[in-house]
Structures are given as structure tokens and as C-alpha cells.
Structure 1
């Protein structure tokens, strides 16, 4: 297969799919292993410092602009590199990007190598090897079904969580339609690029 003529662009559907897996939190919180996190699963490892959002909620628009920027500039290039020489559908790009956003391992994941070698059935099984802790099983199944079968799991309604203090844990997600807000974030990112 030949490489696409132009690099894949982020679509609203892709961004919504990943946001749905992650959830949205407008201020900094401690994740399940005690790492300060903010927005749509953003940690300091991304290059965006999240400590500034402790007790300082951001707007939903700001959260989504940062998320779109990180996906476009930090994560999508690695996905495209990992699949260089292979055309990906929108669904495959979204699934691989979701996997990479969550694991950071698109360049070393065996399932990617197997798929590129045409061993599709083995790749379908191997993606599930990335299901630890157990809370990730549902997400991996969604990514598997999206990559191999084109089945999207998000309808655009994403949980926006509050932060319970003093423990700084996310609670009580409010289902929120993010379709228009994510389209705006992508448009803002495209104009800024």
C-alpha cells in the first residue's frame, strides 16, 4: 500500500471518540495512580503543565483546544509514522490514535506490526494484550472494534466530571454534547496551524 498523499487530519468524530474514552475534567485532579491530570486525560508528560489547573478550572473551550492541539501535534504524527506506507481509514486512524493517546506505545505495540504484516486475526487478538489495569478492557474492546470493524462507540455525548476535594478525585460526570465544541476546537487548531 502507498502512503496517503496528505497526512491524515483530525476529524470531529475522531476527537469525540477519544474524549468519550477519557472523559473531561475542567480542573486538575489525581488519577487512579495519583498522577495530576487535567482536561481530557492530560498530564505533565504531554508537555502541557497541568498544575496550573489545581483549584483553577478552565473553560470547556480551553480544555478542548489543548486536547485537539496535543492530538494533532504530539500524538497523530507518531501514529502516522507507525503506519507509514499503509492507508488508514478514518476509523483506523481514530482507533490507533486513541490507543496511542492512552498508552504512548503505538511505535512498539505488537498488534501494529502484525496488522502491517497482514496478520489481521493475530493483530485483533494482540491489541487486547494492552488491557492492564482491568479498567482498560472496555476501552481496548472499543479500539479493537473500531480499528478492525469500523464500529464507532461515541455518540458525541461525553462525561464532564466535577472534582471532589480534598482528595481531588473526579466524580459525578454530567453527560454533555460536545459535538459543536469539538468542531470549533478543530477549526481553531486548523487556523492556528
Structure 2
């Protein structure tokens, strides 16, 4: 595979807020994609501390009901209708992927390699970010639209209770997905010359 195909996939990955409860592929394929991404994404010291949970259909809807339940008491009353509409948009999708980091795995590496102990939490976030991007891009190649949300840590406790998530797993992000109901919005770019430098040409 040439790099052009890979770069084209990155270019077409977008943020979709308008998603529908439809899937172009079987549920088993969705699970397989997430497993393959988690399995093959590199991690510092081969730590493999990243975790993922796939929620589909009714389980996916439960997630966004939890988010609404947690947020309503803390969001100003005047702002709640806007927030509620946004959450309903996520709930209207087909599924969500929850991304976690197993802090027990991170702590073991800190004990094993004390010279790098302060760096391991950051290393773990790097891996999780790669997994998020790879999952997002792979789902889009299958015909889904997705977005990346961060309602943690407000929802962490209820999420762990609902799906029996180990206490050592820290929630990093939530990715609702579904078949797009409308095109993605326009995307703007800062000058690439200010963001990438090259020497030795």
C-alpha cells in the first residue's frame, strides 16, 4: 500500500455531529476493527496499557443517558437546552467507543523503570491518542461518521458501575459514531509552514 492511500484516509476523516442509528457493516466487524487497532498500535516500552469498550445500540444509548443525567445538575439552566440537544445528537448514533488507560499497568512500568517514572503517564496518553485516531479513521473508511468527546471525569463512576469497568481503568475519551446524517462542516487550516520545519534538503 502506498502512503498516498494512507494519507487520503487521514484527509477524509472528519468530525460528524449529525449521525444516525445505522451501520453499513455487521457488529462483529466493528468489534474486530477496534480489537485490531488496539492490538497493533505501538506503545512505549510495549506497555499495552490502553483499553477500549465498544457500546452498540441500546448500550450506546445508555451511555448518553448517563452523560445527560450527570450533566444536567451542573450545567446552568439557561444552557441546558443547547447541551441536551447536543447529547441527543450523540445518542442518535449507532454506537460509541470508550477509550481507557489502565493505570495499574502504568504504575508497574513506573516501578520497573524508575528513571522514566514521570514520563509514563504521558507515554500512555500518546498511545491512546494514536488508538483514537486509528479507530476514528478505520470507522470512517467503513462508512461511519464519528466525533471525539470528553465528558470524563464527570461520568467515570457511573460508567464503571454500569459496565463493570475495572477501577484501575481511567476513562480518556468517548467516540459516538453512526452513518452521517449530514455532511461534515468546513475545516480550516493554520499555515503548514508555521507548523512543520524541514532541514537538510
Please report the TM-score for the alignment, with normalisation by the length of structure 2.
0.23
Higher-RCO chain (CA-CA 8 Å, sequence separation at least 6): 2
Instruction: Find the structure with the greater CA-based Rg.
Output: 2
